[in-house]
Amino acid sequence: MNTKGTTVYDCRMVDIQRFSDNRGYLSVVEGGIDIPFEIKRIYYLYMVPEAARGAHAHKQLQQLMIATSGSVHVTMDDGTNKKTFVLDKPWKGLYVAPGLWRDLDDFSGGTVCMVLASEKYEAEDYIRDYEEFLKYKKL
């Protein structure tokens, strides 16, 4: 898929369904139903110190990011526009469209940020240099 033309407006917050009763809450995400991709990989960030994470783009990877605990700010960047999303509830996910630069910062203490990913890990899918990213987007 050519993802040069994707923009920050292709990202969106997703309300994750929750079930609650006197035992507490349960949330569920089903690939291909709640999100527009099948889930091939799950990873999570935790015990993050002050430092920011991210600072890269993916050419093809689609993701859903969820702060299952704590909070984090995710800034998406398409080379022209930037948009910051706040993840601070276990039932709020950010759908991350492919072909976009992302920066994660402002982690609160104890944050666990879970990422549901559309592909297995592929180092070649990363763009880690911002100038190279701008060239990829032909800006």
The residues that are catalytic are: 56
User: Which residues are 64's β-sheet partners?
Assistant: 95, 116
User: Which of residues 18 and 41 has its CB atom nearest to ligand TYD in the complex?
Assistant: 41
**Chain mean position to CA 134:** 20
- The answer to whether 70 contacts ligand TYD (rule: CB under 6 A) is no
Helices vs strands, H then E, count in the chain: 1, 12
Q: Please list every residue from 97 through 126 that binds ligand TYD, using CB under 6 A.
A: 121
Backbone torsion region of residue 54, taken as left when φ is above 0, otherwise alpha when ψ lies between -120 and 50, otherwise beta: left
**Residue 89 engages ligand TYD in binding (rule: CB under 6 A):** no
| Beta-carbon contacts of residue 24 (< 8 Å; ≥ 6 apart) | none
* Options 7-15, 17-25, 41-49, 74-82: segment touching ligand TYD (CB under 6 A): 41-49
Using CB under 6 A as the binding rule, whether residue 43 contacts ligand TYD is answered as yes
Contact positions toward ligand TYD, by CB under 6 A? 41, 43, 45, 53-54, 121
